[in-house]
Structure 1
């Protein structure tokens, strides 16, 4: 099961902040709305859609509230123009379709393809518009060890005057960890409360913006001070080179210890360690040991 990248999580901060103007563009999307067809079925997001442009990387994330379906598109070195979303795209570009945060279909895998045309990046008015389509694939391994590929077609995608955030949310959050004995050296750390399907999680993400390493922790806001197990109680994710929804390694074993949490004040502290293994059978079959982890976060 793939998880949203840190950029997509940050994009969710813009959700619900779009303009109230209901005027339509020539392609049928109202202001602040993203529409598309998913295997011929309507996808429309107007209250849960947002876009970001951080350090040249554009991301748009949209959620259909009634089903939990999610579309995430990321473009590196973004500008107004046409960009490939398929396997030959830039390493930090691609598109993902998910259902309630699970069963991720990606455009950058074998058999995937796609294109986004960014028609407007208005930094003065902080809005973005464009069109897109992509073919996304999802692979599972059956009980006999056979890889089965499933495909979803996203067509006629349009987004119109979506609110565009260009500043990463502030805060004094810190996260330290070692990856195979080497310091992560995160230079940006963000803690968010994210709600999917009625469940609210605290998601802490840390980036090394030089190496593009990304590490994230996700756990229920119902957890209290104590020690918890990986997979069953919390999700730990590591990406050695963030981009395009690929090369995600998830905690298979490990522990998370919450030493302090105050949801009223919006703070949480703790320690963690985990062993991360690949999610996608097409990714390199390596294991990462995440040790000496600690965090002190201000929840946005």
Structure 2
């Protein structure tokens, strides 16, 4: 049952993250080239380009969610966490634990092939910590790590590992788009 709950949460996360539009009159966008995101993926250094970063505030629910999507042409990483609405995100650690229902974060990794994205792993544990959040200038910095296990094979062009371990993840000066609903 827990896997079903997390699968629905993940599906909602992916669908909602891709359905937002910056045409929203309450959206504030901050873009620059200072942003960096790096990690160690299964022992190999990885550097990505942030392709999307949003802070969504839903007043009717009293919640806000921060999302980052980054990729390097071969792999995409998505990080998301939620908190109660306030100015910026609290400088705390957000966690995912497949065995616990006390989860306020979600993480994904997928493989990019021929213009398609293949998600063959499901997260088991993860952490995301904000070390700085500048709401006035729309920038966030922090750290992340997570582990995931293979749940199936969706393509036959590359062999993906049984387990994915992402450590030493760091994002710095990531500009985000603010959406308020």
Match of 1:233 among 100, 104, 113: 104
Q: Where is the helix percentage greater, Structure 1 or Structure 2?
A: 2
Q: Which runs of 5+ in 1 are unaligned?
A: 18-168
CA distance in 1, matches of 2:166, 2:130: 17
2:166 aligned with 1:277: no
| 1:282, distance to aligned residue in structure 2 (A) | 5.2
Aligned length: 144
Change (3 A) 1:249 1:200: farther
Provide the residue aligned with 2:165 in structure 1: 289
Counterpart for residue 256 of structure 1: 128
Equivalent runs, 1:102-141 vs 2, <5 Å:
none
Q: Which structure 2 residues correspond to residues 4-15 of structure 1 after superposition, within 5 A?
A: 4=14, 9=17, 12-15=20-23
Q: Which runs of 5 or more structure 2 residues have no equivalent in the other structure? A: 1-6, 98-102, 155-159
Structure label with greater radius of gyration: 1
Shift of 1:249: 2.8
Aligned to 1:201: 65
CA shift at 1:245, angstroms?
5.7
CA distance in 2, matches of 1:179, 1:248: 15
1:170-204 deviation line (CA, Å, top 9, x unaligned): 33322111111112221344321235784431111
Report if the CA contact (8 A) 1:217-1:237 is conserved.
yes
Deviations 1:145-174 (A, max 9, x none): xxxxxxxxxxxxxxxxxxxxxxxx833322
How far is 1:15 from its partner? Answer: 4.9
TM-score normalised over the length of structure 1: 0.41
CA deviation string 1:225-262 (max 9, x = no partner): 12232241211111122665642534311322221223
Task: Give TM-score scaled by structure 2 length.
Answer: 0.63
10 and 264 in structure 1: CA distance in 2 versus 1, 3 angstrom threshold: farther
Residue 90 (structure 2) aligns with:
224
